[in-house]
Structure 1
Amino acid sequence: MLLVSGPRVTGICHVDIYGKEGILGIAILESFQGRGLAKVPLRYAIKLAKELGLERIRSVDIDNYRAISLYKTLGFNIIRRINNCSRSFRNSFVDCYEMEIKLL
């Protein structure tokens, strides 16, 4: 799902489906972050995942405390911390949090 503001794409939200689980991804342009724009597509992705019969959605966040806080308000819980799981834009490895929301 694309997020748009006028003619400009400002973000993207998706759920990749693997059997009865989904992996959630969302990205918002930095200049549009902090405005609450992610809530609507995230809620829609959760609703759609339930309608498709998925049992849970998982998401991994890389030290993005605003996103972690948002996911928690939507019902996600931190499952575990994963050390050195992803490269940052600075090309160094960073820790991640695996988060999950159960749908059934």
Structure 2
Amino acid sequence: MSRATRRIVVAHLTDRGMSPADIAAELGVSRDTVRRDLADAPPLAPAPEPKPAPPVAAGLLLPDEPQLRRNLAVLTAAYGARPEDAARFAIRQAARHVRAWRAARG
């Protein structure tokens, strides 16, 4: 193992919480070698900034519930539609019934 590779491994094992003595035994080198590798190691580069998430398309997000999934599967199968179309249809039908009920109440 090259010196550069060993330094990387030593730094990684140190980050994982291993002691210099354990690292030395694992790699088959002296504890002094491990200590030198740690002292000579360049500082770790900061983690790259995560990419921002793409914007969510405008729409309706529904909770992922088993019963809701089963109901949507029934509508999708019955109408041979995509889940989005089946949900749109069900919402339209429910709204139509609510409007009719409100109109009947006066």
TM-score by length of 2: 0.22
| More helix, by proportion | 2
TM-score by length of 1: 0.22
Which one has the largest radius of gyration?
A: 2
| More strand, by proportion | 1
